[in-house]
Amino acid sequence: MPFCPNCSAKLASEDAAACWNCEASFSATSAWHPVASPPGEFRRFKRLVAPKKPPAAERGSPVHRSKARGVVEGVALAILGIFGAGVALLIWLFLNLCLICR
């Protein structure tokens, strides 16, 4: 089994073009080539599992509060807009009815 001379990672084959862990190149122009035994302890360069994404909107976080605040503000503006239009309509109807009744 071949090993990487830089990080001691096990390689898939003798013909590997590069190390999967440290990306050391084993091309024809490279000074490094796979070796038969590991030169030392394995050193991890790449994570085998992708890191977890931090939760962006956990309850109580500033991001969550800003999103919730945006939603509340939007709903409040919509209600005020509808309420304002309703009040304006009632005033217009009242004035028109008063003018008609004269």
- pLDDT per residue rounded down to tens, the chain (102 residues): 899 999 999 998 888 899 988 989 998 888 889 999 998 998 888 666 666 766 655 656 665 566 667 777 888 888 888 888 888 888 888 878 776 666
Amino acid at 66: S
Distance, CA of 36 to CA of 41 (rounded, Å)? 14
Residue 4 CB-density burial (10 A; 0-12 exposed, 13-18 middle, 19+ buried)? buried
Q: Is the pTM of this model over 0.85?
A: no
Cβ neighbours of 19 (radius 10 Å): 23
82-94 residue pLDDT tens: 888 888 888 888 8
Distance of CA 102 to the CA centre of its chain: 67
